[in-house]
Amino acid sequence: MRGTLIAASTLLAVLLTGCSPDSPEETGSEEKEPKEPKAAVAQLQNADGDRVGTATLTETENGVDIHLKAMDLESGEHGFHIHETGTCQPPDFQSAGGHFNPEDKAHGKNNPDGSHAGDLPNLEIQSGGTGELKVTAKGTTLGPGDHSLLKKDGTALVIHEDPDDLKTDPAGDAGDRIACGVVKEK
């Protein structure tokens, strides 16, 4: 009888320990591995096929962070935009289409009817031919949907010859396209 009592007590202790509210299954506090943010990259080339920049793109809660490092470009301000098609055929890069604009808005942050999701600040190139820009493309994603920079037809990052005036439709009078890079999942 004593052996049966000890066995029953041991079984009860095991069952109670397994049902303890401290177990991760019961509390939902099981540590989950953090998700890696979605990331993409674009290698920008000029009309001669020379690499003139690299952009890394990372999805955040506020949109897609873009970090562009440019080189071998003329000094001064240059328009910089996300374009609607992931194709960069030199010499004029017209294959990239217009600005990425899933909400059909006007161009430029200074336009009362703007701005496109693809409108970004001007890129400042220093006298040595290099420049760097960190910006968040608000309202964009690297996930699925209409606002995705990795949509079926892709998107491209384009640097223009002149500065963007941030208000004139459709492209801010930024001039010719001098560099282009297709956005690709990393």
- Among all chains, which residue has been given the structure tokens 């693809």? 118
Which residue is catalytic, options 81, 92, 153, 162? 81
Catalytic annotation, pick one of 78, 116, 147, 164: 116
Q: Give catalytic status of residue 147 as yes or no.
A: no
- From the candidates 107, 113, 162, 173, which is the catalytic residue? 107
Choosing from 51, 67, 146, 160, the catalytic residue is: 160
Catalytic residue from among 83, 147, 164, 169? 83
Could you confirm whether 83 is annotated as catalytic?
A: yes
CA-wise closest residue to 74 among 161, 142, 154: 161
Catalytic residue chosen out of the listed positions 78, 147, 164, 177: 177
- Determine whether 78 is an active site residue: no
Active-site position among 78, 99, 147, 164: 99
Catalytic residue annotation: 81, 83, 99, 107, 116, 119, 160, 177
